[in-house]
Amino acid sequence: MKVIDATDLILGRLASLVAKELLNGEEIVIVNAEECAITGSKESILQKYRERRERKSIVNPRRHGPHYPRRPDGILRRAIRGMLPYKKDKGRRAFKRLRVYVGTPKEFEGKAESIEEIKVFKLEIPKYMKLKELSKLLGAKF
């Protein structure tokens, strides 16, 4: 089992690395999901996620979906799921091997490792937003 601390890691790069590991049969736990960062301007990130949450069907506007999460752990899980073939059995089994937590549970304290190559500080133009901020702006209560 691999424990990853998501503090200051870039969301997309973390998601792609984790998806590859999951497909290889690794069991992965991600802690501090709320400290993960999404790159880009705050306005464009917020607009993109608001559009996803408010998407409705043209045929039947009362029909809601697809459902996008508001909490940081759900947003991170959804990003990883998007990089897995989750409609196939292989992808579903891989997705079940993933656990994401807001904060650090006692059982994983001191065991978490970070990935230096995908830190947000390596960006040339430091434009990013933490998942904690995004979740609060989307209306999450955590």
Full residue range of the structural domain in which residue 34 is found: 2-138
CA–CA dist 35, 72 (Å, integer): 9
Question: For residue 54, what pLDDT is reported?
Answer: 81
With a CB cutoff of 8 Å and minimum separation 6, the contacts of 82 are: 15
92 CB neighbour count, 10 Å cutoff: 13
DSSP 8-class letter at 119 = B
pLDDT of the residue at 67: 83
What pLDDT tens digit does each residue of the chain (142 aa) get? 999 999 999 999 999 999 999 999 999 999 999 999 999 999 999 999 998 888 777 777 777 777 889 999 999 999 999 999 999 999 999 999 999 999 999 999 999 999 999 999 988 888 999 999 999 999 998 7
Copy the structure tokens of residue 97: 């091997």
To which residue do tokens 């464009």 refer?
44
- pTM equals 0.92
Closest CA relative to residue 98, chosen from 1, 18, 28, 14: 28
* Residue linked to tokens 């506007």: 61
- Which letter does DSSP use for residue 66 in this model? S
Q: Say how many domains are in the chain.
A: 1
What end-to-end distance do the CA atoms of the chain give, in Å? 27
CATH number, position 21 = 3.90.1180.10
